[in-house]
Amino acid sequence: MIHEIFPVGPLQCNCSIVGDEATHEAMVIDPGDDIDDLLAILAKHKLNVKQIVITHAHIDHVGGAMKLRAATGAPILLNQNDYALLQMLDVQAAWIGMADPGKVDIESSVTTGETVSAGSHTATVLHTPGHTEGSICLYFPAEKKLIAGDTIFAGSIGRTDLPGGSMQKILRSLHDTVMALPDDTVVVPGHGPRTTIGIERQSNPFLVKR
Ligand SMILES: [Zn+2]
C-alpha cells in the first residue's frame, strides 16, 4: 500500500493519500489545503483519485476538497451528521483567519458498516461522534491501520468545545469503537505524530482506567 501522510494548511491537518501500487487507484483523506502539493504527490506515484473522504467537516480537513474534486473528478464522502457544520465553513474560516473555501458538494454520506477503497485496500467506516456529530474513522483491517481524524491523538483526544462536540459522546466512541481495535493497530491522527492503539490504551490520560 502506498500511504503518504503530509500536514496541510495553517493547522497542519494530516492529509493521507492511500494508493494501490498495482491498479494506481487512490483515495485522499482530509485534503484540507495545499492541493497543488497534493497533486504533485499523486503524480509522482501515478495515482488516480477515486474517492475523497472527509473525517469531519472542520475547515482544516475539508477546505481543499472542492479544488481536489475539480482536478480529479472524484466524489466527496462525508457522514451526514456533519452536513450542518459544512454549511458554516464561512464562519469556521473567520475563526481561524482562512479564506472561505465556498460551498462543498457531498456525493454521499458514509457511516458504520460501509467501506471505502483504493484498489485492493479497503477500509471500514466507523462512525465515532464526539469531536463533531459526524466524525468518522477509517479502519484498514488487513493493514492494521486506523485513520482517526480528530477523535484521538497521540496522548490526547479531540476537543469537544466546538459546535457539535460532546465529551460524553467522544468517550463512548473511544471506549466502544476505537479501543475495541487490536493493540498493534497503527493510528494516524488528524494532527501530530502516529501512535498505536496499545500505546494509547496504556498511556492516554483520557483512556486509562483509574
Ligand atoms: Zn476537527
Return the residue matching grid coordinates 462543498: 104
In this prediction, residues 139-160 reach a mean pLDDT of 98
Whole-model pTM: value is: 0.96
Distance 19 CA to ligand 1 centre (A): 24
Cα–Cα distance for residue pair 71/149, rounded to 1 Å: 23
Q: Decide if pLDDT at 79 tops 80.
A: yes
Per-residue confidence (pLDDT) for residue 210, from 0 to 100: 57
Distance 22 CA to ligand 1 centre (A): 33
Taking only the tens place, the pLDDT of each residue in 22-55 is 999 999 999 999 999 999 999 999 999 999 999 9
Distance 186 CA to ligand 1 centre (A): 20
In this prediction, residues 68-95 reach a mean pLDDT of 96
What's the mean pLDDT when you consider all of the chain?
96
Distance 86 CA to ligand 1 centre (A): 12
Per-residue confidence (pLDDT) for residue 116, from 0 to 100: 98
Taking only the tens place, the pLDDT of each residue in 175-191 is 999 999 999 999 999 99
Per-residue confidence (pLDDT) for residue 96, from 0 to 100: 86
Distance 75 CA to ligand 1 centre (A): 21
Distance 131 CA to ligand 1 centre (A): 7
Cα–Cα distance for residue pair 60/56, rounded to 1 Å: 10
Give the sign of the dihedral formed by CA 193, CA 49, CA 79, CA 57.
positive
Distance 136 CA to ligand 1 centre (A): 11
Distance 161 CA to ligand 1 centre (A): 11
Distance 56 CA to ligand 1 centre (A): 7
Distance 58 CA to ligand 1 centre (A): 5
Cα–Cα distance for residue pair 81/135, rounded to 1 Å: 8
Distance 181 CA to ligand 1 centre (A): 22
Share of the chain above pLDDT 70, in %: 99
Instruction: Count CB-CB contacts under 10 A for residue 37.
Output: 12
